[in-house]
Amino acid sequence: MQSNNKKIKVAQNSVFWSLFLTLMKGVVGIITGSLGILSEAVHSALDLGAALLTFFSVRISDKPADKKHPYGHSKIESISALVETALLFATSGWIIFEAIKRLFFEKVIIEITWYSFAIIIIAILVDISRSRALMKVAKETNSQALEADALHFSSDIWSSGAVLIGLICAYIKIPFADTVAALVVATIVLRAGYKLSKRTFDVLIDAAPEGLTEIATEEAKKVPGVLGIEKIRVRPGGTTSFIEISVEISRLISLQKAKEIGKNVEKQIKTKINGSDVTVHVVPVALDNETVIEHIQNLAHTYGTSVHDIEVHLVENKKYINFDLEVKADSTMTEAHEITTNLEELIKREFGSEIEINTHIEPLRSDVLKGEKVDKKEEEKTISEIIDISSNFKNISNPHNIEIRKVKEKIFISLHSYIDENMLLESAHEEASDLEYKIKEKIANVARVVVHLEPRE
């Protein structure tokens, strides 16, 4: 809101000074008959129209986005600048027409007075002051309309200077000096109009601002987790630069981490490019060092299921893949087999049809099963049996935190045990699996045992 107030205030001041200069130049031009001053009066009148247009455009452009205008109203400033360009070209056309008439068809006597010089000097001082004020606020608020006005009025300084030189030459009786000065003004105005039209058309046809694509790309690459940039599109929208960027990330990372990387890319670009509206898309890609097991896990996830206990064997240049596939428990065998077949075909397309795949289907229960604790006597008896079984394992010791539950008449057991801290994970896993098997074998009606191993200090 504060930046919008700044824009409105500086645009308001520009309207006042344009009106002041138009009236003064018009009166002096008519009195003296100077084409240079009259051309400046017309120029200032058009400046007044442009300043009014800018004033109304900056009032409208900062309105928030709505359903009809999802990208906001900022392009109204570009339309304002486009109309201003048309006014500049119209000014130049009139000046050139009058200059040709005076050079070849009409002889006009110019009356040179002290106030002819005074009005031009005042105009130069006013234009210096307001062009600086407009450019300062334009940079602070990223306003295209104010920047166009600043460029416009900075060109007026040079055109007024040309008129001043023409008046001096006319005063010392150099022929056609005033008319030549008017043509110089027209040339300067045409140059300003060309610059404005180019900038305005670039915005209206969504041309990317120079260098902005490269800056956004470099900033995105700085974010940890970004592997590369797949696509980037930048388009201006008045005071806002809209940036859409697709960044490549590893397909093995979690959805939460992917979302975090996207947020970090957005933040990084916005920090570097003020007034930017950034949309980030994350594109999962395979890494060059992705393992076979990671590849299979990702294929299963893409298919909408999960696998575990993946084993890959290479025997006489033939690859064998074994894994457990989790399928919803309420699926029929026909449905489960179809899912298995489709996943196996997907894996073969990736690794080649000559591989051998063996799949063990496991029921995946998505609901929470209601259970209960076993009675005290049964619990004590089971704990005693577990401790006794564990004593036969030389690397596993001190079973503790033993939990025993009954779910649908089946026993579920979980416990913690200590193991040598220097033992390799694979060996430790084999010990735990062996203990789980022995407990299920010795204790009746046990459906599952989970042994959590902790390093013995």
Let me know if 97 is exposed, middle or buried by CB neighbors in 10 A (0-12, 13-18, 19+): exposed
pLDDT confidence of 21, banded at 50, 70, 90? confident
d(CA 79, CA 66): 19
d(CA 265, CA 255): 15
DSSP readout, 314-379?
EETTEEEEEEEEEEETT--HHHHHHHHHHHHHHHHHHH-TTSEEEEEEEEEP-SPPP-EEPPHHHH
d(CA 161, CA 157): 6
Q: What percent of the chain has pLDDT over 90?
A: 20
Last residue of a domain, one of 152, 172, 204: 204
Mean pLDDT of the chain: 79
Read off the CATH number of the domain in which 108 is found. 1.20.1510.10
Alpha-helical runs (H) found in 69-211 = 76-104, 114-141, 144-171, 177-204
Task: Say yes or no: 53 and 117 in one domain.
Answer: yes
Task: Say yes or no: 46 and 147 in one domain.
Answer: yes
Give the residue, 29 or 447, on which the prediction is more confident.
447
d(CA 49, CA 427): 85
Let me know if 358 is exposed, middle or buried by CB neighbors in 10 A (0-12, 13-18, 19+): exposed
d(CA 288, CA 251): 12
pLDDT confidence of 260, banded at 50, 70, 90? very high
Task: Say yes or no: 199 and 238 in one domain.
Answer: no
d(CA 215, CA 270): 11
pLDDT for residue 194 is more than 60: yes
Residue 332: both structure tokens together: 């029929």
> Worst-scoring range by mean pLDDT, 181-195, 247-261, 334-348?
181-195
pLDDT for residue 102 is more than 70: no
Task: Say yes or no: 59 and 139 in one domain.
Answer: yes
Give pLDDT tens digits for 64-75. Answer: 566 666 555 566
Give pLDDT tens digits for 406-438. Answer: 988 889 999 999 998 888 988 999 999 999 999
pLDDT for residue 27 is more than 50: yes
Give the residue, 156 or 454, on which the prediction is more confident.
454
Residue with tokens 């993946």: 310
Mean pLDDT comparison of 38-47, 159-168, 178-187, 210-219, highest-scoring range: 210-219
Q: Give the mean model confidence (pLDDT) for residues 176-197.
A: 72
Q: DSSP character for 392? A: T
Query: In the chain, what is the straight-line distance between the N-terminal and C-terminal CA atoms, in Å?
Result: 63
Task: Say yes or no: 123 and 226 in one domain.
Answer: no
> Residue 9: what pLDDT?
74
Distances (CA, A) of 168 to 125, 280, 350: 18, 61, 85
Q: DSSP character for 282? A: E
pLDDT for residue 202 is more than 70: no
Phi, psi (deg, nearest 5) at residue 359: -115, 130
pLDDT for residue 47 is more than 60: yes
pLDDT for residue 183 is more than 50: yes
Q: Are 116 and 36 in contact (CB under 8 A)?
A: no
Q: What percent of the chain has pLDDT over 70?
A: 72
Last residue of a domain, one of 262, 285, 308: 285
pLDDT confidence of 1, banded at 50, 70, 90? very low
Read off the CATH number of the domain in which 379 is found. 3.30.70.1350
Q: Give the mean model confidence (pLDDT) for residues 100-106.
A: 69
Give pLDDT tens digits for 291-324. Answer: 788 788 888 887 778 888 888 888 888 888 999 9
Q: DSSP character for 66? A: -
Q: Give the mean model confidence (pLDDT) for residues 206-229.
A: 83
Q: Say how far residue 407 (Cα) sits from the centre of its chain.
A: 51
Residues with Cβ < 8 Å from 163, sequence gap 6 or more?
34, 36, 37, 39, 40, 120, 178, 181, 182, 185
Task: Say yes or no: 63 and 158 in one domain.
Answer: yes
Last residue of a domain, one of 364, 397, 418: 364
In three-state secondary structure terms, 54 is helix
For residue 113, what are the β-bridge partners?
none
The identity of residue 75, as a single letter, is K
pTM assigned to the model:
0.50
Task: Say yes or no: 259 and 376 in one domain.
Answer: no
Task: Say yes or no: 175 and 276 in one domain.
Answer: no
Task: Say yes or no: 230 and 299 in one domain.
Answer: no
Phi, psi (deg, nearest 5) at residue 369: -85, 135
Name the residue range of residue 427's domain: 372-456
pLDDT confidence of 59, banded at 50, 70, 90? low
Q: Give the mean model confidence (pLDDT) for residues 375-382.
A: 91
Task: Say yes or no: 315 and 402 in one domain.
Answer: no
**Could you tell me what percentage of the chain is helix, strand and coil, using 3-state DSSP and rounding each to the nearest 5?**
60, 20, 20
Residue 303: both structure tokens together: 């298919």
pLDDT confidence of 111, banded at 50, 70, 90? low
Task: Say yes or no: 383 and 425 in one domain.
Answer: yes
Query: How many domains, in total, are found in the chain?
Result: 4
Q: Give the mean model confidence (pLDDT) for residues 264-288.
A: 85
pLDDT confidence of 162, banded at 50, 70, 90? low
Task: Say yes or no: 19 and 62 in one domain.
Answer: yes
> Residue 158: what pLDDT?
67
Number of Cβ within 10 Å of residue 212's Cβ equals: 19
